């Protein structure tokens, strides 16, 4: 199977309006920047996005929000995006807010073919209203459905032309779970190498999950909040 695509625009060319898309990243770390920008250029609308959060104003998935391309978002954290807040309060954006661990497990379960699972997270909160609960060994648990998506967009540090992926440090975050839950998973990488270059023991996501792969470029890798301290002045004689 031919997996390597020339660029991000070609890789997302068949994503239609109304698609459900799972997207890797935690905040702005590990975002598939090229694929997000390609979706923005394509202009697809009414998207249902599943991601840990929805970027910040003007960065990450935030650019899709600002362009009015997102209809629904399933996320665990939404506190860094003012435009998100405005869209939600005005009724223009549907929001499904999940506990972070539940969201990660829901995508992992969906990718593993597990339709649902019980978790204590969310019991006794608004999350549990109207949902099935069950007492197991004396403790109440909430039933959560596994998540699958039409497409999954992920970012890895290195990948080979068979689609095997290696993530780098904290950019690993949600990407491995996202990669398994998409019916069509598209990966962008900073380094694209020949098969056999990556030690099999070092592979984080097996190529069987990845249908398309491309070499990314122009990474901004923005930081949400930069916290610094004044540089200490040098002392004479030191």
pLDDT, block means (10 residues), the chain with 238 residues: 93 97 91 96 96 84 92 88 85 92 96 97 94 96 97 97 96 95 97 96 97 90 77 58
pLDDT at 238: 44
Cβ atoms of 164 and 185 closer than 8 Å: no
| Among the listed residues 128, 137, 177, the one whose alpha carbon sits nearest the alpha carbon of residue 154 | 177
DSSP state of 190: E
Please enumerate in sequence order all residues whose Cβ is within 8 A of that of 93, keeping only pairs 6 or more positions apart, or say none: 65, 70, 71, 72, 73, 84, 87
So what's the pLDDT on residue 217? 87
Q: Where are the alpha helices (DSSP H) in the chain?
A: 8-11, 33-42, 62-66, 82-89, 100-111, 175-181
- Distance, CA of 36 to CA of 60 (rounded, Å): 7
Parallel/antiparallel/unpaired status of strands 47-50 and 20-23: parallel
Q: Domain 8-114+147-215: what homologous superfamily?
A: Glutaconate Coenzyme A-transferase (3.40.1080.10)
pLDDT at residue number 135: 97
Report pTM: 0.89
């Amino acid at each position: 199977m031919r997996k390597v695509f020339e660029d991000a625009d070609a890789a997302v060319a068949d994503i239609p309006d109304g698609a459900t898309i799972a997207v890797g990243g935690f905040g702005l770390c590990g975002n598939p920047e090229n694929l997000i920008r390609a979706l923005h250029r394509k202009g697809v609308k009414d998207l249902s996005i599943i991601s840990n959060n929805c970027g910040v104003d003007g960065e990450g998935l935030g650019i899709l929000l600002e362009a009015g391309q997102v209809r629904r978002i399933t996320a665990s954290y939404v506190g860094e995006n003012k435009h998100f807040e405005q869209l939600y309060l005005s009724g223009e954006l549907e929001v499904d807010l999940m506990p972070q661990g539940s969201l990660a497990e829901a995508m992992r379960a969906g990718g593993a073919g597990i339709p649902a699972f019980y978790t204590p997270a969310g019991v006794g909160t608004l999350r549990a209203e109207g949902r099935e609960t069950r007492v197991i060994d004396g403790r109440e648990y909430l039933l959560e459905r596994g998540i699958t998506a039409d497409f999954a967009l992920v970012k890895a540090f290195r990948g080979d032309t068979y689609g095997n992926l290696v993530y780098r440090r904290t950019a690993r975050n949600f990407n491995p779970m996202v990669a398994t839950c998409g019916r069509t998973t598209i990966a962008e990488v900073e380094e694209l190498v020949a098969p056999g270059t990556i030690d099999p023991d070092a592979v984080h996501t097996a190529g069987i999950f990845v249908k398309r792969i491309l070499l990314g470029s122009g990474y901004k890798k923005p930081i949400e909040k930069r916290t610094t301290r004044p540089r200490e002045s040098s002392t004479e004689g030191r």
